[in-house]
Amino acid sequence: MTVIVAGHVDFDTTENISEMLHSVKPLIEGALSERGCRAYSWTEDHLTPGRVWVYEEWESSDTLDDHLNTEWYRNMLASLGSYKMLPPSQPIYKYRVEHLEPVYDETPKARGHFFTADEPVKTNMAVIVAGVIQFTEIDQVPDILISAKPHIDGALTEPGCIAYSWTQCHLNPGRVQVYEEWTSSETLEAHLNSHFYQDMGAHLGSFERIQTDSPILKYRIDLQQTVYDETGVAKGHFLGTQ
Protein backbone atom coordinates (compact mmCIF):
# COMPACT_ATOMS: atom_id res chain seq x y z
CA MET A 1 0.00 0.00 0.00
CA THR A 2 1.27 3.47 -0.90
CA VAL A 3 2.60 5.52 2.01
CA ILE A 4 2.74 9.33 2.09
CA VAL A 5 4.99 11.29 4.47
CA ALA A 6 3.96 14.92 4.93
CA GLY A 7 4.21 17.88 7.23
CA HIS A 8 6.22 21.03 7.74
CA VAL A 9 9.44 22.09 9.45
CA ASP A 10 10.00 25.64 10.71
CA PHE A 11 13.38 27.36 10.69
CA ASP A 12 14.48 30.65 12.17
CA THR A 13 13.40 33.43 9.81
CA THR A 14 17.00 34.65 9.57
CA GLU A 15 17.92 31.49 7.67
CA ASN A 16 18.22 31.62 3.88
CA ILE A 17 15.69 28.94 2.92
CA SER A 18 16.55 29.00 -0.77
CA GLU A 19 20.24 28.49 -0.01
CA MET A 20 19.44 25.70 2.43
CA LEU A 21 17.27 23.80 -0.04
CA HIS A 22 19.87 24.12 -2.78
CA SER A 23 22.49 22.74 -0.39
CA VAL A 24 20.53 19.49 0.11
CA LYS A 25 19.81 18.98 -3.61
CA PRO A 26 22.18 15.97 -3.90
CA LEU A 27 20.44 14.32 -0.92
CA ILE A 28 16.97 14.89 -2.38
CA GLU A 29 18.11 13.52 -5.74
CA GLY A 30 19.65 10.54 -3.95
CA ALA A 31 16.37 9.77 -2.18
CA LEU A 32 14.49 10.04 -5.49
CA SER A 33 16.79 7.38 -6.93
CA GLU A 34 15.85 4.86 -4.25
CA ARG A 35 13.64 1.87 -4.88
CA GLY A 36 9.99 2.69 -4.34
CA CYS A 37 10.35 6.48 -4.12
CA ARG A 38 7.65 8.20 -6.18
CA ALA A 39 8.00 11.73 -4.80
CA TYR A 40 10.40 13.49 -2.42
CA SER A 41 10.21 17.26 -2.11
CA TRP A 42 11.19 20.02 0.28
CA THR A 43 9.52 23.29 -0.73
CA GLU A 44 9.39 26.84 0.62
CA ASP A 45 6.19 28.36 2.00
CA HIS A 46 6.24 32.02 0.93
CA LEU A 47 3.28 32.84 3.19
CA THR A 48 4.94 31.62 6.41
CA PRO A 49 8.59 32.79 6.55
CA GLY A 50 10.99 30.03 7.52
CA ARG A 51 8.53 27.20 6.86
CA VAL A 52 9.47 24.26 4.65
CA TRP A 53 6.93 21.64 3.59
CA VAL A 54 7.96 18.00 3.34
CA TYR A 55 6.17 15.68 0.93
CA GLU A 56 7.21 12.11 0.16
CA GLU A 57 5.45 9.22 -1.51
CA TRP A 58 6.64 5.62 -1.24
CA GLU A 59 5.24 2.48 -2.83
CA SER A 60 5.15 0.65 0.54
CA SER A 61 6.11 0.76 4.22
CA ASP A 62 9.05 -1.50 3.35
CA THR A 63 10.55 0.98 0.89
CA LEU A 64 10.03 3.85 3.36
CA ASP A 65 11.75 1.79 6.07
CA ASP A 66 14.65 1.12 3.70
CA HIS A 67 14.99 4.88 3.09
CA LEU A 68 15.02 5.64 6.82
CA ASN A 69 18.11 3.44 7.12
CA THR A 70 20.09 5.01 4.25
CA GLU A 71 22.96 7.47 4.16
CA TRP A 72 20.69 9.83 2.18
CA TYR A 73 18.34 10.10 5.15
CA ARG A 74 21.09 10.39 7.80
CA ASN A 75 22.97 13.00 5.78
CA MET A 76 19.77 14.99 5.27
CA LEU A 77 19.21 15.13 9.03
CA ALA A 78 22.84 16.16 9.60
CA SER A 79 22.69 18.87 6.93
CA LEU A 80 19.41 20.36 8.18
CA GLY A 81 20.74 20.20 11.75
CA SER A 82 23.31 22.83 10.84
CA TYR A 83 20.49 25.37 10.41
CA LYS A 84 18.40 26.95 13.19
CA MET A 85 15.37 24.69 13.34
CA LEU A 86 12.50 25.72 15.61
CA PRO A 87 10.69 23.31 17.95
CA PRO A 88 8.01 21.46 15.95
CA SER A 89 4.47 22.80 16.20
CA GLN A 90 3.20 19.41 15.04
CA PRO A 91 4.82 16.12 14.06
CA ILE A 92 5.59 14.80 10.59
CA TYR A 93 3.00 12.12 9.78
CA LYS A 94 2.92 9.05 7.60
CA TYR A 95 -0.35 8.11 5.90
CA ARG A 96 -1.38 4.72 4.55
CA VAL A 97 -3.22 5.12 1.25
CA GLU A 98 -6.23 2.88 0.73
CA HIS A 99 -7.11 4.20 -2.75
CA LEU A 100 -5.91 6.93 -5.11
CA GLU A 101 -7.19 8.52 -8.31
CA PRO A 102 -7.09 11.86 -10.21
CA VAL A 103 -9.02 14.78 -8.73
CA TYR A 104 -10.45 15.52 -12.20
CA ASP A 105 -12.62 13.01 -14.02
CA GLU A 106 -12.66 12.54 -17.81
CA THR A 107 -14.96 15.53 -18.46
CA PRO A 108 -12.81 17.10 -16.71
CA LYS A 109 -14.59 17.99 -13.46
CA ALA A 110 -12.97 18.19 -10.04
CA ARG A 111 -14.58 15.64 -7.73
CA GLY A 112 -14.10 15.13 -4.00
CA HIS A 113 -15.65 11.66 -3.97
CA PHE A 114 -13.76 8.65 -5.33
CA PHE A 115 -15.42 7.71 -8.61
CA THR A 116 -13.13 4.78 -9.52
CA ALA A 117 -13.16 3.01 -6.13
CA ASP A 118 -14.68 -0.47 -5.96
CA GLU A 119 -15.01 -0.44 -2.18
CA PRO A 120 -17.31 2.05 -0.39
CA VAL A 121 -15.64 4.70 1.72
CA LYS A 122 -15.25 3.92 5.40
CA THR A 123 -16.41 6.41 8.02
CA ASN A 124 -14.23 9.48 8.53
CA MET A 125 -11.45 8.58 6.07
CA ALA A 126 -9.16 11.56 5.55
CA VAL A 127 -8.30 12.64 2.00
CA ILE A 128 -4.99 14.07 0.79
CA VAL A 129 -4.70 16.04 -2.46
CA ALA A 130 -1.20 16.34 -3.89
CA GLY A 131 0.68 17.04 -7.10
CA VAL A 132 2.65 19.70 -8.93
CA ILE A 133 1.89 22.65 -11.20
CA GLN A 134 4.59 24.01 -13.53
CA PHE A 135 4.64 27.70 -14.42
CA THR A 136 6.38 29.15 -17.47
CA GLU A 137 7.77 32.31 -15.89
CA ILE A 138 9.99 31.21 -13.02
CA ASP A 139 10.48 34.72 -11.63
CA GLN A 140 6.72 35.10 -11.17
CA VAL A 141 6.26 32.11 -8.87
CA PRO A 142 6.84 33.86 -5.49
CA ASP A 143 4.40 36.63 -6.46
CA ILE A 144 1.87 34.08 -7.73
CA LEU A 145 1.86 32.38 -4.34
CA ILE A 146 1.95 35.53 -2.22
CA SER A 147 -0.94 37.09 -4.17
CA ALA A 148 -2.93 33.84 -3.70
CA LYS A 149 -2.93 34.37 0.08
CA PRO A 150 -6.62 35.39 0.36
CA HIS A 151 -7.71 32.21 -1.45
CA ILE A 152 -5.36 29.98 0.57
CA ASP A 153 -6.37 31.60 3.87
CA GLY A 154 -10.02 31.25 2.87
CA ALA A 155 -9.70 27.54 2.12
CA LEU A 156 -8.05 27.00 5.50
CA THR A 157 -11.18 28.39 7.20
CA GLU A 158 -13.45 25.83 5.54
CA PRO A 159 -14.91 22.96 7.58
CA GLY A 160 -12.69 19.88 7.39
CA CYS A 161 -9.58 21.60 6.00
CA ILE A 162 -6.49 20.36 7.88
CA ALA A 163 -3.80 21.61 5.49
CA TYR A 164 -3.81 23.70 2.32
CA SER A 165 -0.37 24.69 1.04
CA TRP A 166 1.09 25.89 -2.25
CA THR A 167 4.88 26.01 -2.10
CA GLN A 168 7.80 26.65 -4.44
CA CYS A 169 10.38 24.02 -5.32
CA HIS A 170 13.78 25.76 -5.46
CA LEU A 171 15.36 22.81 -7.26
CA ASN A 172 12.83 23.30 -10.08
CA PRO A 173 11.80 26.91 -9.39
CA GLY A 174 8.93 26.99 -11.87
CA ARG A 175 7.29 24.12 -10.00
CA VAL A 176 4.71 24.53 -7.25
CA GLN A 177 3.89 21.65 -4.91
CA VAL A 178 0.20 21.39 -4.04
CA TYR A 179 -0.65 19.71 -0.74
CA GLU A 180 -4.07 19.56 0.90
CA GLU A 181 -5.56 17.45 3.66
CA TRP A 182 -9.29 17.14 4.33
CA THR A 183 -11.20 15.24 6.98
CA SER A 184 -13.37 13.45 4.41
CA SER A 185 -14.46 13.24 0.78
CA GLU A 186 -17.52 15.30 1.75
CA THR A 187 -15.47 18.24 3.03
CA LEU A 188 -13.24 18.12 -0.07
CA GLU A 189 -16.34 18.03 -2.28
CA ALA A 190 -17.73 21.08 -0.48
CA HIS A 191 -14.44 22.92 -1.06
CA LEU A 192 -14.48 22.08 -4.77
CA ASN A 193 -17.88 23.79 -4.98
CA SER A 194 -16.82 26.84 -2.97
CA HIS A 195 -15.86 30.28 -4.21
CA PHE A 196 -12.43 29.85 -2.60
CA TYR A 197 -11.67 27.01 -5.04
CA GLN A 198 -13.13 28.90 -8.00
CA ASP A 199 -11.28 32.09 -7.10
CA MET A 200 -8.01 30.18 -6.76
CA GLY A 201 -8.59 28.59 -10.17
CA ALA A 202 -9.21 32.00 -11.74
CA HIS A 203 -6.09 33.41 -10.08
CA LEU A 204 -3.85 30.60 -11.32
CA GLY A 205 -5.44 30.73 -14.75
CA SER A 206 -4.09 34.23 -15.27
CA PHE A 207 -0.52 32.85 -15.42
CA GLU A 208 0.93 30.70 -18.18
CA ARG A 209 1.53 27.09 -17.22
CA ILE A 210 3.35 24.10 -18.71
CA GLN A 211 1.47 20.80 -18.98
CA THR A 212 2.98 18.14 -16.71
CA ASP A 213 2.96 14.38 -17.24
CA SER A 214 1.14 13.61 -14.00
CA PRO A 215 -2.27 14.83 -12.80
CA ILE A 216 -3.14 16.17 -9.36
CA LEU A 217 -4.19 13.11 -7.36
CA LYS A 218 -6.37 12.51 -4.33
CA TYR A 219 -5.56 9.80 -1.81
CA ARG A 220 -8.00 8.08 0.55
CA ILE A 221 -6.28 7.51 3.89
CA ASP A 222 -7.15 4.61 6.18
CA LEU A 223 -4.37 5.02 8.76
CA GLN A 224 -2.26 7.92 10.03
CA GLN A 225 0.64 7.79 12.50
CA THR A 226 3.66 9.90 13.35
CA VAL A 227 6.88 8.99 11.54
CA TYR A 228 8.86 9.16 14.80
CA ASP A 229 7.83 6.85 17.65
CA GLU A 230 7.96 7.76 21.35
CA THR A 231 11.69 6.93 21.49
CA GLY A 232 12.46 9.35 18.64
CA VAL A 233 13.14 6.61 16.08
CA ALA A 234 11.73 7.10 12.55
CA LYS A 235 9.78 4.06 11.35
CA GLY A 236 8.24 3.30 7.98
CA HIS A 237 5.87 0.63 9.26
CA PHE A 238 2.63 1.39 11.09
CA LEU A 239 2.51 0.34 14.72
CA GLY A 240 -0.07 -2.31 15.58
CA THR A 241 -0.31 -3.61 11.99
CA GLN A 242 1.31 -6.46 10.13
The CATH number assigned to the domain holding 185 equals 3.30.70.100
Mean pLDDT of 18-40: 93
pLDDT of residue 240: 80
Instruction: Please report, rounded to a whole number, the percentage of residues in the chain having pLDDT higher than 70.
Output: 98
Residue 175 CB partners (closer than 8 Å, separation 6+): 132, 133, 134, 135, 168, 169
Cis status, amide bond into 91, omega within 30 of 0? no
Give dist(CA 115, CA 185) in Å, integer.
11
Residue 64 above 80 pLDDT?
yes
- What SS3 class is residue 69? coil
| Total domains in the fold of the chain | 1
| DSSP 8-state symbol, 242 | -
Mean pLDDT of 98-127: 87
pLDDT of residue 123: 67
Q: Is residue 209 part of a domain?
A: yes
Residue 242 above 60 pLDDT?
no
Q: Is residue 239 part of a domain?
A: no
Mean pLDDT of 65-86: 92
Question: Residue 147's domain spans which residues?
Answer: 3-226
